[in-house]
């Protein structure tokens, strides 16, 4: 078990370095940040001096090594756009993104899994078919359109919920939270639904098909023959056996929720890291983009590690085979 | 007995406090005027010298005052300086307004002026180009600052309307004597905090999220606004901004996309404000290289021929661009400066008649291009209103006269890097391009001559943004002379002559001024300025 975790951590570091390398080779195509940094009347000579000072004239590998070296010491430099330390800029926005992604994930799991179980148990019932049809919206409409539609209905027409922003937040140490104020909670609803809708559909359909499959197996028939209650069969036997693929997908989807919060955050002016990233791309703010991509890489690596550990908890076969077993089909 | 009495007293005082509190909050609720507004992007810094950019300057000027400020018609008026002028051609004086206090209660003095001007001209500051002529800044007496210049500079006061005054003591105490140095990983206090003499005080700054200002009750000037609190939020998505305005979550939005203007005008609670912006959007040609970089014509450069430039100029229908691409929201012009800028010459702003395609084609054939010619064109797609669409319209118009234009429209950071001249002022890598310019530093036409129209020259640093290298020695001479001319009548005559020169040369193809479009709730009164600045001191909430 310990060896497994250690190996995973070593792999993670390699993944992060690779992410850094790929992002750095891409940065050459985002354009020259200098012209966005200076005023209209700055002379060409002064622009060149600044370019030289920031090391933008160095070859990409040298810039990359410098970045990795500084990053390893926790120093991400100053943002070209705001001249603030990048580490702090990102840290300040992480709570907003994590809280939003968390709410979206809760929405996905607590609505998506029951919907999947229901449609799996009663596949021919009219309400299952309705749920199936409605859930297509989540897959077929683009996120920004869903967001704007929700804003139009609930903010502009009904005036129930705010159209953008985080509302009032409470500061606890360096973390700012939405969960402690009424306006903060209200502000979470629309973005969380927008962000989660796609994943909701995915999880619902996954659970449904897994349930359909499991319900056909022999041990369910035997369980029925033993006279177990429906509840014990459906949740104790059937649902539990669908969980391994569901956890894998849900874990990866949580990573996507964080990474793809970019669109939702832009639509709702949600002050998270995704919005910061979009602003940075427009400005060719290389230090912020690099740090953001590393952070997202780190999230994915961590989530994958947790998912791997969860298999041990859910699937007793893995525990008996010993710590280093790999999950088939992973 | 004693305990009972105490409890009674306690309860009494509680009740009393409650009554007082209720009274107080009722009183403030009646007077509290909160103004909420949004823009597509955030102010990049609270440091007023961090970037010479309209939005940062206009935002920080709510907190900091300049010596001289611009009024509703963009004319200069006294702010922290009560009087200013030149004692001789190379000496300027500024008399400091007495009795002004910073937000922390400390008095504003001549030392703060000297400190601020030096900070604006110092390392990390982006305002240095306002100080090119300056030799020395010194305090003479408690109420006067004197500036000597290397050569006569009649525009110094105009330039310095953008330079606001900071507190020397505050900056020294907080280690913010210079603006943030990008090469060091150091937090600069002035990036997030602000303390000036202005009409509003910074209450809370959360970069990228919201910035809250409150009224400064001790402001030296009589307030023309009635705001007690201002909440600014960046909202990047235009559709969300418009929805928030309709829902009443914000009171005003700066920069409305043209596509939304019509639908907003139909909204009962919203008003749309439109006006011309001082920036002129124009097209430029490479007239410098003996052979164009991106063309099928080898060995010569068609744009060096005035007849070719004229044929193109007179084939671009700016009214059609206004009607179709800009949805009416542009103000066509034939000059490189807009009305409202000193030196705009109305009688010369006359576009020559459009040519019929066959007439223009004949001009191109007569110039020695019987088959027409091909050229590349560079255009941004996220810099000016509808920039890419305008270029596409131009491509279609020129196709009719036998000029095949290969358009490359890309994001501004790539586009600027391609078209702008290099550090040694060698020409940019473009053949035909779009650019926009506003002399926002001086509000004077000389800035346009010196930056865009004079011959690029490394020694004199003129013609920095003359990407195509247009050159006319007679115009260079006039522009240099007007820079130092203090006699207004003589200067105006020079401006007129120089303007005529570039117009007759068809040096550029000016297209239009784009419209500034703002939208606000009906209960908001505000002033829309032609330079797209938005001072909160002109806002009232009904």
Kindly report, residue by residue over A261-278, the tens digit of the pLDDT.
889 999 999 999 998 998
CB nearest to B207's CB, from A36, A84, A284: A84
| B362 and B496 both lie in a single domain | yes
Percent of chain A with pLDDT over 90: 16
pLDDT for the residue numbered B24? 44
Q: Quote the DSSP letter at residue B119.
A: H
Residues of B in contact with A30 (CB under 8 A): 411, 413-414
Q: Are B257 and B327 in contact (CB under 8 A)?
A: no
Percent of chain B with pLDDT over 70: 93
Q: What is the pTM (predicted TM-score) of this model?
A: 0.82
Give the CATH number, domain containing residue B147: 3.40.190.10
A45: closest chain B residue by CA: B423
- Alpha-helical (H) ranges within B48-109 are 54-60
d(Cα B83, Cα B13) in Å, to the nearest integer?
55
| B47 falls within a domain | yes
| B411 and B299 both lie in a single domain | yes
- Whose tokens are 């970089």? That residue is B293
| B1 falls within a domain | no
Kindly report, residue by residue over A83-115, the tens digit of the pLDDT.
888 888 898 899 999 999 999 999 998 998 889
Rg (CA), chain B: 27
Beta-carbon separation of A148 and B240 below 8 A: yes
pLDDT for the residue numbered B262? 82
> CB of B267 within 8 Å of any CB in chain A?
no
> Can you tell me the mean pLDDT for A148-153?
92
- Token readout for B80 is 């922290």
| B494 and B535 both lie in a single domain | no
> CB of B413 within 8 Å of any CB in chain A?
yes
Per-residue b or e along B442-473, where b marks 16 or more CB atoms closer than 10 Å to that residue's CB: bbbbbbbbbbbbbbbebeebbbbbbbbbbbbe
Beta-carbon separation of B249 and A54 below 8 A: no
Enumerate residues 461 to 490 of chain B having a beta carbon within 8 A of any beta carbon in chain A. Answer: 461, 464
For chain A, domains (ranges, CATH) are 91-274 (1.10.3720.10)
| B305 and B380 both lie in a single domain | yes
d(Cα A103, Cα B166) in Å, to the nearest integer?
44
> CB of B20 within 8 Å of any CB in chain A?
no
Q: Give the pairing of strands B91-96 and B144-149.
A: antiparallel
pLDDT for the residue numbered A319? 63
pLDDT for the residue numbered B63? 97
pLDDT at B482 over 60: yes
Kindly report, residue by residue over B107-149, the tens digit of the pLDDT.
999 999 999 999 999 888 888 888 988 999 999 999 999 999 9
| B473 falls within a domain | yes
> Can you tell me the mean pLDDT for B68-81?
92
Residues of B in contact with A275 (CB under 8 A): 208, 236
Residues of A in contact with B243 (CB under 8 A): 148, 151-152, 155-156, 163-164
B38: closest chain A residue by CA: A269
Between residues A139 and B300, the one the model is more confident about:
B300
Between residues B90 and B442, the one the model is more confident about:
B90
pLDDT for the residue numbered B147? 96
Name the minimum distance, in Å, from the CA of A304 to any CA of chain B: 31
- Token readout for B193 is 């905090």
Name the minimum distance, in Å, from the CA of A34 to any CA of chain B: 8
> CB of B204 within 8 Å of any CB in chain A?
no
CB nearest to B208's CB, from A93, A144, A155: A93
> Can you tell me the mean pLDDT for B247-269?
87
Domain containing B175: what range? 7-251+523-541
Beta-carbon separation of B447 and A276 below 8 A: no
| B381 and B471 both lie in a single domain | yes
pLDDT for the residue numbered A152? 92
pLDDT at B19 over 50: no
Beta-carbon separation of A156 and B210 below 8 A: no
Beta-carbon separation of A78 and B207 below 8 A: no
Residues of A in contact with B209 (CB under 8 A): 165-166, 271
pLDDT for the residue numbered B185? 65
Provide the strand spans (E) within B236-392.
252-253, 270-285, 330-332, 373-380
> Can you tell me the mean pLDDT for A50-61?
81
B45: closest chain A residue by CA: A82
A89: closest chain B residue by CA: B207
Cα angle vertex A280, ends B125, A67, to 5°?
80
- Token readout for B116 is 């601020």
Q: How confident is the model at residue A330 (pLDDT cuts 50, 70, 90)?
A: very low
Q: Are B179 and B188 in contact (CB under 8 A)?
A: yes
Kindly report, residue by residue over A195-235, the tens digit of the pLDDT.
998 888 888 989 898 888 888 888 888 888 888 888 888 87
> Can you tell me the mean pLDDT for B470-496?
93
Nearest to B534 by CA among B185, B275, B187: B275
> CB of B434 within 8 Å of any CB in chain A?
no
B239: closest chain A residue by CA: A148
* Of A33-37, A303-307, B282-286, B337-341, highest mean pLDDT: B282-286
Q: How confident is the model at residue B169 (pLDDT cuts 50, 70, 90)?
A: very high
| B241 and B323 both lie in a single domain | no
Name the minimum distance, in Å, from the CA of A328 to any CA of chain B: 44
| B268 falls within a domain | no
Kindly report, residue by residue over A160-174, the tens digit of the pLDDT.
999 998 888 888 888
CB pairs under 8 A between A and B: 176
Kindly report, residue by residue over B305-345, the tens digit of the pLDDT.
999 999 999 999 999 999 999 888 899 999 999 988 889 99
| B509 and B527 both lie in a single domain | no
pLDDT for the residue numbered B180? 83
pLDDT for the residue numbered A23? 79
> Can you tell me the mean pLDDT for B208-212?
91
* Cα dihedral B523, B528, B533, B535 in deg (nearest 10): -40
| B146 and B176 both lie in a single domain | yes
> Can you tell me the mean pLDDT for A107-135?
88
Task: Tell me whether residue A82 is exposed, middle or buried, using C-beta atoms within 10 angstroms of its C-beta: 0 to 12, 13 to 18, 19 or more.
Answer: buried
The structural domain count of chain B equals 2
pLDDT for the residue numbered A321? 54
Kindly report, residue by residue over B82-112, the tens digit of the pLDDT.
999 999 989 999 999 999 999 999 999 999 9
* Of A38-52, B109-123, B408-422, highest mean pLDDT: B109-123
d(Cα A273, Cα A98) in Å, to the nearest integer?
9
| B228 falls within a domain | yes
Beta-carbon separation of A83 and B416 below 8 A: no
């Amino acid at each position: 078990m310990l060896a497994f975790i250690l190996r995973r951590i070593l792999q993670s570091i390699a993944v992060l370095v690779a992410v850094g390398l790929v992002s750095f080779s891409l940065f050459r195509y985002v354009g020259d940040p200098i012209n966005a940094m200076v005023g209209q009347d700055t002379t060409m000579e002064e622009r060149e001096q600044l370019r030289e000072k920031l090391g933008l004239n160095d070859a990409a590998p040298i810039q990359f090594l410098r970045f990795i070296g500084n990053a390893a010491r926790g120093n991400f430099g100053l943002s070209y756009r705001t001249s603030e330390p990048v580490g702090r800029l990102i840290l300040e926005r992480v709570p907003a993104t994590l809280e939003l992604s968390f709410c979206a994930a809760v929405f996905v799991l607590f609505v998506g899994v029951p919907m999947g179980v229901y449609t799996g148990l009663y596949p021919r019932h009219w309400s299952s078919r309705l749920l199936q049809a409605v859930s297509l919206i989540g897959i077929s409409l683009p996120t920004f359109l869903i967001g704007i539609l929700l804003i139009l209905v609930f903010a502009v027409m009904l005036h129930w919920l705010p159209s953008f922003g985080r509302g009032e937040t409470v500061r606890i140490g360096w973390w700012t939270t939405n969960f402690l104020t009424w306006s903060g909670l209200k502000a979470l609803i629309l973005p969380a639904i927008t962000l989660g809708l796609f994943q909701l559909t995915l999880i619902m359909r996954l659970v449904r098909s897994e349930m359909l499959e499991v319900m056909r197996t022999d041990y369910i028939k035997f369980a029925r023959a033993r006279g177990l209650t429906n509840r014990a069969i459906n949740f104790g036997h059937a649902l539990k056996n669908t969980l391994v693929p569901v956890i894998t997908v849900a874990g990866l989807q949580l990573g996507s929720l964080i990474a793809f919060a970019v669109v939702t955050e832009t639509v709702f002016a949600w002050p998270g890291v995704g919005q910061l990233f979009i602003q940075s791309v427009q400005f060719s703010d290389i230090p912020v983009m690099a740090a953001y991509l590393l952070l997202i890489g780190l999230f994915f690596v961590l989530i994958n590690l947790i998912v791997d550990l969860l298999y041990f908890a859910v699937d007793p076969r893995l525990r008996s085979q010993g710590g280093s077993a790999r999950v088939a089909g992973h | 007995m004693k305990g009972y009495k105490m409890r009674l007293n306690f309860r009494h005082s509680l009740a009393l406090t409650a009554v007082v509190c209720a009274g107080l909050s009722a009183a403030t609720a009646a007077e509290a005027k909160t103004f909420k507004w949004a823009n597509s992007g955030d102010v990049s810094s609270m440091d007023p010298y961090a970037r010479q950019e309209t939005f940062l300057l206009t935002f920080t000027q709510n907190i900091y005052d300049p010596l001289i400020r611009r009024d509703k018609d963009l004319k200069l008026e006294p702010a922290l300086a009560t009087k200013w002028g030149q004692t001789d051609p190379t000496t300027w004086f500024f008399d400091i307004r007495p009795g002004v206090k910073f937000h922390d209660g400390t008095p504003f003095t001549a030392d703060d002026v000297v400190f601020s001007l030096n900070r604006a001209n110092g390392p990390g500051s982006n305002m240095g180009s306002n100080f090119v002529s300056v030799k020395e800044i010194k305090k003479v007496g408690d109420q006067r600052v004197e500036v000597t210049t290397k050569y006569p500079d009649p525009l110094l006061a105009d330039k310095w309307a953008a330079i606001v005054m900071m507190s020397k003591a505050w900056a020294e105490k907080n280690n913010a004597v210079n603006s943030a140095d990008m090469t060091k990983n150091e937090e600069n206090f002035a990036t997030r905090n602000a303390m000036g003499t202005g009409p509003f005080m910074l209450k809370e700054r959360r970069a990228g999220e919201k910035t809250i200002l409150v009224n400064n009750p001790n402001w030296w000037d009589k307030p023309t606004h009635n705001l007690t609190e201002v909440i600014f939020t960046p909202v990047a998505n235009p559709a969300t901004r418009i929805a928030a305005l309709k829902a009443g979550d914000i009171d005003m939005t700066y920069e409305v996309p043209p596509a939304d203007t019509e639908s907003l005008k139909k909204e009962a609670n919203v008003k749309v404000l439109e006006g011309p912006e001082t920036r002129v959007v124009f097209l430029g040609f490479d007239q410098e290289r003996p052979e164009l970089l991106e063309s099928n014509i080898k060995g010569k450069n068609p744009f060096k021929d005035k007849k070719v430039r004229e044929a193109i100029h007179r084939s671009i229908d700016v009214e059609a661009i206004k009607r179709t691409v800009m949805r009416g929201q542009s103000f066509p012009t034939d000059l490189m400066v807009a009305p409202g800028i000193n030196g705009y010459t109305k009688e010369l702003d006359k576009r020559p008649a459009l040519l019929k395609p066959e007439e223009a084609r004949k001009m191109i054939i007569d110039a020695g291009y019987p088959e027409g010619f091909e050229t590349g064109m560079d255009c941004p797609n996220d810099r000016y209103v509808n920039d890419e669409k305008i270029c596409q319209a131009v491509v279609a118009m020129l196709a009719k006269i036998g000029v095949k234009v290969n358009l490359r429209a890309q994001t501004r950071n790539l586009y600027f890097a391609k078209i702008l001249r290099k550090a040694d002022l060698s020409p940019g890598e473009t053949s035909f391009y779009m650019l926009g310019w506003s002399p926002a530093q001086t509000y004077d036409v000389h800035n346009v001559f010196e930056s865009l129209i004079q011959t690029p020259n490394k020694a004199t640093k003129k013609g920095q943004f003359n990407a195509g290298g247009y050159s006319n020695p007679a115009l260079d001479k006039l522009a240099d002379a007007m820079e130092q001319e203090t006699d207004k009548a003589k200067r105006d005559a020079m401006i007129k002559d120089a303007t005529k020169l570039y117009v007759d040369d068809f040096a550029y193809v000016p297209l239009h001024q784009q419209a500034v479009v703002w939208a606000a709730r009906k209960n908001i009164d505000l002033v829309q300025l032609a330079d797209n600045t938005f001072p909160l001191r002109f806002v009232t909430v009904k």
